Amino acid sequence: MDADNLEGVKTMSNREDDANVVLYLLAGVGLGAIIGAAAGLLFAPKPGSELRADIGDKFKELKGKTSEWVAEQRTKRSGAPEELGV
């Protein structure tokens, strides 16, 4: 293996590491937002029926946003092989 090929392997590895760091960062932020929202709802002075309704609404909203994000990521990733020439 010559130096050019070795440098290409290092660059690809660095890109994968960067992508993993970003993914973990976004997962941590998302988890923190979920925990914060749940804590806010649970400590709010509301009757149980209102609280359950609010939790249900927030869950539906989060589910919709998550579905949209997943669809967007799949669309972005579907073009990746063509970009790489595979």
pLDDT digits (tens, 9 = 90+) for 65-79: 999 988 888 888 776
In which band, very low, low, confident or very high, does the pLDDT at 60 lie, cut at 50, 70 and 90?
Answer: very high
Contact 46, 54 (CB under 8 A): yes
Report d(CA 44, CA 28) in Å as an integer.
24
What tokens appear for 67 in the block? 């579905």
Query: What confidence score (pLDDT) does residue 57 get?
Result: 92
**37 membership: H or E segment, kind and range:** helix 3-43
Banded model confidence at residue 37, pLDDT cuts 50, 70, 90: confident
In this prediction the pTM is: 0.43
Report the pLDDT averaged over residues 17-44: 84
User: What are the contacts of 79-84 at 24+ separation with CB within 8 A?
Assistant: none
Residue 45: pLDDT above 90?
Answer: no
CA 78 to chain centre: 17
**With bands split at pLDDT 50, 70 and 90, how would you rate the model's confidence at 12?**
low
